Structure formats: structure tokens, C-alpha cells
Structure 1
Amino acid sequence: MIVQDVINLLEDFAPTTYAEDFDNVGLLVGNTQEPISGILVTLDTTEAVIDEAIATNCKLIVSFHPIIFSGLKKITGKNYVERVVIKAIQNNIAIFAIHTALDNAYHGVNNMICEKLSLTNRQILIPQSGTIKKLITYAPSAEASTIREALFKAGAGSIGNYDNCSFNLEGTGTFRGGKDSDPTKGKKLENHSEAETQISVTFPKHLETQILKALFTTHSYEEVAYEVVSIENTNQHIGMGMIGSLEKPMPESEFLEYLKTQMQTNTIRHSALLDKPIQKVAVLGGSGSFAISAAKRAGADIFITADLKYHDFFQAENSLILADIGHYESEQFTKNLLVAFLMKKITNFAPALPVGRLILSNTNTNPVKYY
């Protein structure tokens, strides 16, 4: 198994196409073609984590947070970021970061929090725009069925709980090949009319390359007429945060105790209690103050996130409770999620890693301590 094999698996799980523009995801250090003897999964890549990778002979670190976030002009070891990069390179250790790609994935960070809190009826809190595209193409009617099936197989035509979705119009296409053409229908330098079917399918934007490959591979024309456009339909499965419901309402104090237990935190900073039961719960792992308004609009009784500032708490305005459980605490189970996914996929992968070479980091990377 090489680094690229693991990247391919992670791209299927949480495509980096959907990471936020400000983020730095993907392979940060290393060679995609390098063989790997083990994978260490961590929340952060610190010097201690590099040492753990060396001790366990893991040549790939899969990290939630990127160690390199802004540009490096010099790498001299003057700070912890540079020291991590230097030590990783010296020991031939690759580092891959997934961060907001996993934040935006339906089955990612926020779904994990919902799992811990046993929330039902889960929905994305802030759907990401521009994630759905539409392909419109024209094919000889006799080939339409074959082309549609190829597009479906490549991932086109899935909408919510439905797949193999398309819209088709019958018509007549006209064209004339030039002197250097090699037409599969008609003859060069002669006008030709062909019974054609217009095929329209939608697809998630990260699949565009393979959708077009399927189109070009199955279409018989020398020049394939097609157009790809972005559409603004809401994507039910990509976006920041999540909202769901408790099976039964809970008193505020009881829920806060439950939250502390399930998320393994000793401290919760929160806005004023409202003396109302908690049932509808919004969550956003990591820094989530930007989603307070969205949680309000969604009718949440409480919004659970991290890194709220003093003035952020005023935004509660007695309409919901804001609960800051800590940045690390809100994301700490992410590495378990990644290990579970990779374990399932790598088991059936050939050549697979040796048994026991997918390792959950034992290093606690939380930089915040409580007295």
C-alpha cells in the first residue's frame, strides 16, 4: 500500500473539494507514491505525534487539523510548525490533513457529535452552496441508454434518496464535419441529420472528472457536445454543522450534565438558562460562532460548539442556549471516526496493511489545560 491508496480512500469518505477556501487540506508533507508500513491517525500533528509515528514505524500520519496552515517562507525549526515539518521529512513520514472536508461531510465531525448525543432526524445546519452540477449532453438515440448507464455508474443522477435520475428529450441534431474530421455518423463535408436524445443529469461537483470520462468513453461521436453548469439547489449532505432531536425532551441542567458525560468534558461555558426543556439540538465542532444565527433560524433549543468569545454569548438573546464545550473536546472523537472508516476499507484492500498497523494516536494534543 502506498500513500496515494490511502488518499483515494479518504477522498471517497470526505472529498477535499468541499473543504473551505481558507483551509489547507490534502497531502502536506511526503510523496504520494511512497510505500507505507503503518498509518497513525491523530487530531493534531505535534512533535510528540511525530515521535509516536517514529516509535511505531508509521510512515503516514492522517491528521484532522493541518500542521501547515499559512505559507512557510523559511524552514529553520524556529517554531513548532517548522520543527514538525523538518522531523517528518527527515524520517520520511507523510502527513495528510482532512479538516474542513470532514467538517462538511454528512457523516463527518458533526454527525459524530450527534451520535454521541443520540440525536435523531439529523440535517445539515448550513448547507454548502455550489456543490451540485448538471451535465447536459446530446447522443444518438440508439446510444442514449448505454451512455445514461455509464453516467449513473460514474455517480451521476443521485438526488437525496433517489438514484439513476435523468431527464431526456428526443430531437434532431445537425452537423457537418470538416475536411480533417472523422465522423462516426454521416460523411465529412456533408450535412447530416441524426435522431438524438438530450440527456440531463446532476452530480456532486467532486465527481466531474470521472463523469466526463464516462461520457467520452461511451459516446461514439468524434466531438461530443456537452455543457456543465453549477446549480444552486440545496445539497442535503454537504455543509457545516448539524441539527437533530433528542428522543425525549430533557430539563436544561440534566441535559448539560448529559453533555458533559457524553463529550467527556469537565467544563461548559454557556449563556443564560431559559427554564425550558431541551429537545432540538444544533452542533458544530470547532469554532462555530458564525453559525449562531443559523441555529436560531433552525429553532434549536441549544447550540453546542467551541471558541465562543465574550460578546458571542450576547447573541443568545434568550432564544436559545449557547454552550461552549471546548475546541478539542468537540472534535476529539474525529480520529476514532477516521480509524473506523479506514479499518473497514483497508481490510478489503489489496495489498492491505499488516494487522495492527492502523493506529489510533495515544498522544493527547489538547493545548488547553484546566486548573
Structure 2
Amino acid sequence: MRLSVLLKHLEAFAPLNYQEDYDNSGLIVGQPDQEITGALVALDCLESVVDEAIALNYNLVITHHPIVFKGLKKITGKNYVERVVLKAIRHNIALYAIHTNLDHVQHGVNGVIASRLGLQHTKILSPKAGVLKKLVTFCPTLQADRVRNALFEAGAGDIANYSDCSFNANGFGTFKAGAGADPFVGEHGIQHQEPELRIETVFKIQDQRKVLLALFETHPYEEVAYDIYPLENKLDNVGAGMIGWLPEEMDGGDFLNLVKDRMDAVVIRHTKLLPRRIKKVAVCGGSGSFLLKDAIVAGADAFVTADFKYHEFFDADEKIVIADIGHFESEQFTSNLLIDIIQEKFPNFAIRLTEHNTNPINYFI
């Protein structure tokens, strides 16, 4: 199998345009057209993980965290990042990262956490803006159904739990066909008026090419009139963090024990427990302190995440219980998720979880 085939499947699940601007998800080392012998999956890409791939004769390493994050000006092997990249290149091993784009999809990193905690009726905590566009086109009335349905089949018109969504308004278009034109209606050199329908529909950014191809292939005009507008509307099923409800409310101590057990956490740093019981829970894999205000506004009783700094714990202000379980601990089940995503589509592909614990933090208890 070519690497591009596998990456197309992963990026259909977690599109690259869903990642944060600062991120570096995607193919970091390697070529899309190379044949892959097998994939090793890990949370972090370390030399030991690359060595393990070499021993297995696998030429692809898939990780959640990008090994190259801030960019490289030199590759001399002076630090672990450069050594990993050098070793991967020497042994023709592709390195691929699927980071904040996997955080931002409903069944991604945070969906795994929510599932392990047994949360119900979950939804995205902070929906993401800037991932939608609007298409406006003008089509002869009699051909409008065909064009509209083709747009829907290409991925346009999905809004939350609704599909085939569009707005349509009647009007008429004018044009005069010049020399060399091959007009669908009208005559050369004579201004023509044609009853047309204005069709408006939304689509996700990653579907733009498919949507435009559908438009051009089905629209009867030689020159298709259309506009594309970027939207600031938020997409409810894409974004940071998740929030949901426990099946039954719990007191603070029982809840922390549940989190520790279900998330295989060694220790939990938390704010003081509040007198009220815990029912509504927000979660965010990795560094989630930026979502604290969202969790409070959403009415969460507790927020399970990682990497809170000392002074940030004060921001809970007795409105919520912060449960910091550790960065690795919050994301450690992401690797299993990636294996499941790949095996569902390619059940006979050689893929396995690394045997190395890549957590750089140790606990003395």
C-alpha cells in the first residue's frame, strides 16, 4: 500500500485544516508515494521508537505529537529531535503526526477520554470557527435540482444533524454571448435574460475541491457564475475539548477515584473539592488550561485535563474542580484509537503499538 492511501484515510477522519495554526500535523519525513511495509504507533516519536520500527522492518511511524514542532534550521544530531529525523531519513522511515486535528474531531482524543469516563450526551466544549465556507451560484431554474443534488453529494449542505441544506431565491440573469462562445441558451450578440435560481449552501473547507468539481460538472453554462465566502460560523462537531454528563452524580472523592482508575493516572493534582456533587464534566487531552473559562461557562462541575500551572489553579475560583491527571496520562489511549481507525479500513495492514513508554515524566511515590 502506498503511504498516500493510508494518509488519505487518516485525514478524512481528522482533516489537516482542523489543526491549530501553531501545530505541525501531517507528513514530516517521507514521500506520499512510497510503499509502506508496516506502521508503528506511539504518542511521541523518540529514537527508541524509530529503532523499534527498524527492527520490525516497518517504514512508517505514526505519532500524536509532531517530532518537528517549531521548525529546524539545521540537522546535525545535536538533540533528540535532530537525531530522530536523521535516523528516519537514513532508514527510509516516514514520520507522520496527527495532533490538534485529532484533538478537534468529535471521536478523537477527547472522545476517547469522555468514553472512558462514561460521559453521556457529549458535545464539543469550544466549537471551532473558520472551517466553513458558503457557496453561492446561479443556475437556470430547470437545471437547479440536478446541480443542487450534486453539491449535496459532494459534501455541501450539512448543518449539525441536517443534510441537503440550501437557500434558494428566484431571479433572472443577463448575458450576451460573444464571438467564440458556445452558449447553453441565447444567441450570439443579443442580450439574453434567463430565469435563474440563486442557490446558497455551506461546505467544509476540506471539501471545496469536490464541491467545485460537482458544480462545474453539472452546471449547464459554459461559464459558471459562483461566489465563495469564508464564514466565521462555528462548526458544532469540530473544536477543542468535550463536555458531557456522568450517568449518576458523584461526590468529589469518588469522582477522582473514577478518573484515576479509568485514565490509569498515577496521581491527580486538583483544586479543593466543593460541597456540591459532580454531574457535568469537561475534558481536554493534553494542555487544557485555555479551556477553563469555557468549562465554567458551560456549567461543568469538574474539568479533567493536564498541564495546569500553579497560579492557574486559582482561576477555578471555587466554581469548578480542576483535575490535572498529567499530559501523557490524558492522551495515552490515543495510540489505540489510531490503530482502530486504521484497522477498520485496512484490516490486513501490519500495524502495532510501540512497546516503549514515551512518558518523560516519572513519579516517586
What do the CA deviations read for 1:85-139 (whole angstroms, capped 9, x no partner)? Answer: 0110111111111100011111111111000001011111111112221111011
Which residue of structure 1 lines up, in the alignment, with residue 326 of structure 2?
326
Which residue of structure 2 lines up, in the alignment, with residue 33 of structure 1?
33
What do the CA deviations read for 1:323-357 (whole angstroms, capped 9, x no partner)? Answer: 1100000000011111111100113xxxx63xxx1
Cα RMSD after superposing both structures:
1.1
Matched, 1:362 2:362: no
Matched, 1:159 2:152: no
Aligned residues: 364
Gaps of 5+ in 1: none
Per the alignment, in what secondary structure is the counterpart of residue 201 of structure 2?
strand
Matched, 1:340 2:340: yes
Give matches, 1:217-232, under 5 Å.
217-232=217-232
Identity %: 50
Contact 2:123 2:244 (C-alpha < 8 Å) held by counterparts: yes
- In structure 2, what is the Cα distance between the partners aligned to 1:287 and 1:148? 42
Gaps of 5+ in 2: none
Q: CA deviation at 1:176?
A: 1.2
Which residue of structure 1 lines up, in the alignment, with residue 243 of structure 2?
243
Matched, 1:116 2:127: no
Give matches, 1:205-220, under 5 Å.
205-220=205-220
Which residue of structure 2 lines up, in the alignment, with residue 305 of structure 1?
305
Counterpart residue type for residue 76 of structure 1: T
Which residue of structure 1 lines up, in the alignment, with residue 101 of structure 2?
101
- In structure 2, what is the Cα distance between the partners aligned to 1:365 and 1:177? 66
Per the alignment, in what secondary structure is the counterpart of residue 175 of structure 1?
strand
Per the alignment, in what secondary structure is the counterpart of residue 182 of structure 1?
coil
- In structure 2, what is the Cα distance between the partners aligned to 1:81 and 1:182? 58
- In structure 2, what is the Cα distance between the partners aligned to 1:42 and 1:178? 61
Which residue of structure 2 lines up, in the alignment, with residue 83 of structure 1?
83
- In structure 2, what is the Cα distance between the partners aligned to 1:128 and 1:293? 16
- In structure 2, what is the Cα distance between the partners aligned to 1:271 and 1:248? 22
Which residue of structure 1 lines up, in the alignment, with residue 267 of structure 2?
267
Which residue of structure 2 lines up, in the alignment, with residue 150 of structure 1?
150
Q: CA deviation at 1:235?
A: 1.4
Give matches, 1:264-303, under 5 Å.
264-303=264-303
Worse-matched range after superposition: 326-335 or 168-177 = 168-177
- In structure 2, what is the Cα distance between the partners aligned to 1:206 and 1:307? 31
Q: CA deviation at 1:237?
A: 0.5
Q: CA deviation at 1:142?
A: 1.9
Q: CA deviation at 1:276?
A: 1.8
Which residue of structure 1 lines up, in the alignment, with residue 170 of structure 2?
170
TM-score using structure 2 length: 0.97
Per the alignment, in what secondary structure is the counterpart of residue 346 of structure 2?
helix
TM-score using structure 1 length: 0.96
What do the CA deviations read for 1:241-294 (whole angstroms, capped 9, x no partner)? Answer: 011000100111011011000000110000111122111100011011111111
Per the alignment, in what secondary structure is the counterpart of residue 236 of structure 1?
strand
- In structure 2, what is the Cα distance between the partners aligned to 1:178 and 1:18? 44
Which residue of structure 1 lines up, in the alignment, with residue 4 of structure 2?
4
Which residue of structure 2 lines up, in the alignment, with residue 131 of structure 1?
131
Which residue of structure 2 lines up, in the alignment, with residue 43 of structure 1?
43
Contact 2:176 2:190 (C-alpha < 8 Å) held by counterparts: yes
- In structure 1, what is the Cα distance between the partners aligned to 2:57 and 2:151? 42
- In structure 2, what is the Cα distance between the partners aligned to 1:370 and 1:76? 33
